[in-house]
């Protein structure tokens, strides 16, 4: 069964460093998402991406964040200068559609980011 994959599973970085989180969405899906979950809290939407551009972003997704689909399979989230409060689990998700009955989102296993 097709699934969303993410790498790395765990990333430790120093404050101020850049990190890139990678995702491979399900192959016939067209909509891609990033969410994050701070330890012990609920999952929060960061950004949605369709047709090579951002569809929507939350207030959390400030100028330090960017997303890219560099090729036909990968979808990346970059944090330019990490802060302590960026420590969280980051989930990638994808869906076939954005509005119809095919808008079920499937999540990857997550990347746990720890900023020291």
Partner 1 sequence: GIQVEQSPPDLILQEGANSTLRCNFSDSVNNLQWFHQNPWGQLINLFYIPSGTKQNGRLSATTVATERYSLLYISSSQTTDSGVYFCAAVPLGATNKLIFGTGTLLAVQP
Q: Quick one: which H or E segment has residue 59?
A: none
Q: Looking up tokens 């994050």, which residue turns up?
A: 36
Q: How far is the CB of 89 from partner 1 (least distance, A)?
A: 5
CA distance 63 to 55: 16
Candidates 18, 68, 85, 104; binder of partner 1 (CB under 8 A) is 104
How many residues of this chain interact with partner 1, rule: CB under 8 A? 27
Q: How far is the CB of 104 from partner 1 (least distance, A)?
A: 4
At 71, list the tokens.
């090729």
At 104, list the tokens.
């079920």
Candidates 61, 65, 75, 91; binder of partner 1 (CB under 8 A) is 91
DSSP SS3 for 115: strand
Residues that bind partner 1 (CB under 8 A): 31, 33, 35, 37, 42-45, 48, 55-56, 58, 89, 91, 93, 95, 97-99, 103-107, 109-110, 112
């Amino acid at each position: 069964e097709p699934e969303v994959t993410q790498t790395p599973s765990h990333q430790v970085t120093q404050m101020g460093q850049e990190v890139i989180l990678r995702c491979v969405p399900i192959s016939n899906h067209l909509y891609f998402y990033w969410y994050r979950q701070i330890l012990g809290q609920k999952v929060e939407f960061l950004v949605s991406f369709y047709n090579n551009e951002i569809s929507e972003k939350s207030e959390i997704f400030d100028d330090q964040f960017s997303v890219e689909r560099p090729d036909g399979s990968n979808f990346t989230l970059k944090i330019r200068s990490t802060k302590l409060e960026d420590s969280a689990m980051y989930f990638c998700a994808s869906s076939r559609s954005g509005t119809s009955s095919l808008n079920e989102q499937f999540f990857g296993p997550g990347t746990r980011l720890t900023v020291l």
